[in-house]
């Protein structure tokens, strides 16, 4: 177990909560200096992609080229993503009844099915667009398991096409859709980081702290908007956040980093619950915000922001404890 990876998942999930709470404050209350610190918290999404590439490669590196392992890979990925996602969709459906004009919604069958299966279109949960990228990555990694040679060629061609399409463009966030989005390059970043960390494990354990610190410095500078002038285009922001994340996860096996993180059980737990926090915080924020607005007894925007983010994280933690963990444990016993 690499403890730092769980800590990274926790911090990335928290940054996304802070970012979306900041957006809610913009729409329903007022922003202040504290909330503006998280204006670029969406960079945590790019960190998640790099981290995912690292973790999948780390867990399945020995499965590459072993075609009989593909069924296990598919089962593990399916159980990790879909059941909890579908249950989260039900929770978000309740939010639609409470806060949105449910009667005006037009539900079309095919887009709904594709969204539930995460194979394109707009998912029922807006933030689940990242999971569509995850599924695409799993498909390409599955090819590596089926055939190392063919899978490697296809994966490299995919990454090269993404570079070719994206780099000359100024802002192509929606132009090439999910399959060729520059976000997908970041899975490759994570895989390369894991390969290098294992290849030079002795060096990383002793000197990886420098990669970790450099990556955090770049990431923090981007997060706080210090590099905004140098990041005019979408792909430049993605690649910088991806490079910073690459350095951070590359240094994750450093002895000093590991010893620092393994002691904090609370943060490690939040890392374990990060998927639930990510899926459910979009319900916790508006519910808490609406309740605070109804009471009209809190005048401090900073306090409102703190309460909203705390309750959003708590909602995710409760969802993990009472839904995700039991469901995953039950499915694991039944299928593995």
For 303-315, give the DSSP string. HHHHHHHHHHHHH
pLDDT of residue 250: 94
pLDDT of residue 169: 59
Q: What is the CA radius of gyration of the chain?
A: 20
d(CA 285, CA 45): 18
pLDDT of residue 43: 80
Least confident of 36-50, 121-135, 160-174: 160-174
Residues in the chain: 336
Report the alpha-carbon angle 190-209-258, nearest 5: 80
Cβ proximity of 8 and 248 under 8 Å:
yes
d(CA 82, CA 131): 10
Q: Inform me whether the pLDDT recorded for 55 exceeds 80.
A: yes
pLDDT of residue 25: 84
- Domain hosting 150: range is 3-335
Number of domains in the chain: 1
Q: Which residues, including other chains, have CB under 8 Å from residue 81's CB and lie 6 or more apart? A: 118, 131, 134, 135
Q: Which stretches does DSSP call E strand in 103-252?
A: none
Q: Inform me whether the pLDDT recorded for 232 exceeds 80.
A: no
């Amino acid at each position: 177990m690499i403890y730092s990876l769980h800590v990274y998942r926790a911090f990335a999930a928290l940054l996304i909560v802070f970012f979306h709470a900041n957006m809610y404050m913009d729409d329903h209350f007022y922003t202040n200096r504290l909330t503006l610190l998280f204006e670029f918290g969406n960079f945590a999404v790019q960190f998640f992609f790099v981290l995912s590439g690292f973790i999948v490669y780390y867990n399945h590196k020995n499965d590459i080229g072993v075609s009989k392992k593909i069924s296990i890979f598919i089962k593990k990925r399916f159980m990790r993503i879909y059941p909890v996602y579908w249950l989260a969709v039900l929770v978000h459906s309740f939010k639609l009844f409470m806060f949105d004009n449910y009667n005006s919604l037009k539900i079309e069958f095919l887009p709904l099915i594709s969204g539930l299966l995460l194979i394109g279109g707009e998912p029922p949960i807006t933030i689940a667009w990242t999971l569509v990228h995850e599924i695409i990555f799993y498909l390409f990694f599955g090819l590596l398991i089926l055939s190392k040679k063919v899978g490697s060629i296809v994966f490299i061609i995919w990454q090269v096409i993404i570079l070719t399409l994206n780099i000359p463009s100024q802002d192509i966030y929606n132009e090439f859709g999910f399959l060729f989005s520059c976000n997908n390059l970041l899975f490759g970043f994570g895989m390369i980081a894991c390969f290098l960390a294992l290849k030079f494990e002795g060096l990383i354990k002793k000197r990886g702290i420098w990669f970790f610190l450099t990556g955090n410095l770049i990431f923090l500078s981007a997060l706080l908007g210090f590099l905004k002038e140098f990041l005019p285009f979408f792909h430049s922001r993605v690649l910088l956040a991806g490079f910073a994340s690459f350095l951070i996860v590359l240094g994750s096996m450093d002895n000093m980093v590991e010893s620092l993180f393994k002691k904090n059980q609370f943060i490690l737990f939040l890392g374990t619950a990060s998927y639930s926090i990510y899926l459910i915080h979009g319900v916790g924020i508006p519910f808490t915000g609406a309740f605070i607005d109804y009471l009209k007894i809190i005048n401090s925007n900073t306090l409102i922001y703190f309460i909203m983010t705390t309750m959003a994280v708590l909602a995710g933690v409760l969802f993990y404890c009472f839904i995700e963990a039991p469901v995953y444990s039950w499915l694991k016993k039944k299928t593995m």
